[in-house]
């Protein structure tokens, strides 16, 4: 359960960073450091989410119920 909470919180942080980046882009500061930092944080958080999912899968905390995997 804690794993789902962490992933959801990180997802909301990614959406927040994406919104901040859109705000700075629409504000007209397309080359500003705030825009670059916001989008860099978004990419970093997305990479962290993917890393957490892969590590959880490798340790067996999550698994797939896809019907084509177990024929």
Per-residue model confidence as pLDDT tens digits over 26-49: 887 667 888 889 999 999 999 999
CB 12 within 8 A of CB 47: no
SS (H, E, C) 12-59: HHHHHHHHHHHHHHHHCCCCCHHHHHHHHHHHHHHHHHHHHHHHHHHC
Band the pLDDT of 7: cuts 50, 70, 90.
very high
Structure tokens at 11: 């997802």
Q: Token match 């994406």: residue?
A: 18
Measured CA to CA, the distance from residue 59 to residue 13 in angstroms comes to 25
Band the pLDDT of 69: cuts 50, 70, 90.
confident
């Amino acid at each position: 359960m804690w794993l789902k909470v962490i992933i959801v919180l990180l997802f909301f942080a990614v959406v927040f960073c994406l919104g901040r980046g859109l705000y700075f882009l629409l504000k007209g500061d397309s080359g500003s450091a705030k825009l670059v930092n916001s989008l860099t944080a978004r990419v970093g958080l997305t990479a962290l989410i993917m890393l957490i999912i892969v590590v959880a899968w490798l340790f067996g905390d999550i698994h797939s119920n896809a019907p084509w995997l177990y024929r």
